[in-house]
Amino acid sequence: MNKFKIHSQAQPFEHEFFLRISQSLPFMKNLTLSNFKPQEYKQRQQSKNDNKNCSIIEYHHLTELNLLDVNVDYVEQFLDETKTSFTNNIFLTIDSYQLKKGTDNFTRNEMLANC
């Protein structure tokens, strides 16, 4: 499966959900996400070496990520290098306000690798 679209306004998507997607669809190239519901279990890591809170999700073949109508939690989910790792350059579609908000106007160091 090359393209995968997920949309929900009823329930949030948690880190574990994205981990399962990446493992179930390892060759996915295009992911589109739409969800205004904030994540209930926000996972923050103290450093890259501290994997106690969550596993870093790896997307080995993803080349396009569309974050459409999303809560800022999903911006953090995908752009925070302590949560997500991309092996390719990603074409990112996102609202500029959400991008600035999620990255604290590009001042969060853990966001720089994935931006």
The answer to whether 59 touches 22, Cβ cutoff 8 Å, is: yes
Instruction: State the pLDDT at residue 46.
Output: 43
Residue 86: strand, helix, or coil:
strand
Amino acid at 31: L
Which residues have C-beta within 8 Å of that of residue 55, sequence separation ≥ 6? 19
- Per-residue pLDDT tens, the chain, 115 aa: give them: 799 999 998 999 999 999 999 999 999 999 999 999 999 987 654 444 454 557 899 999 999 999 999 999 999 999 999 999 999 999 999 999 999 999 999 888 888 778 7
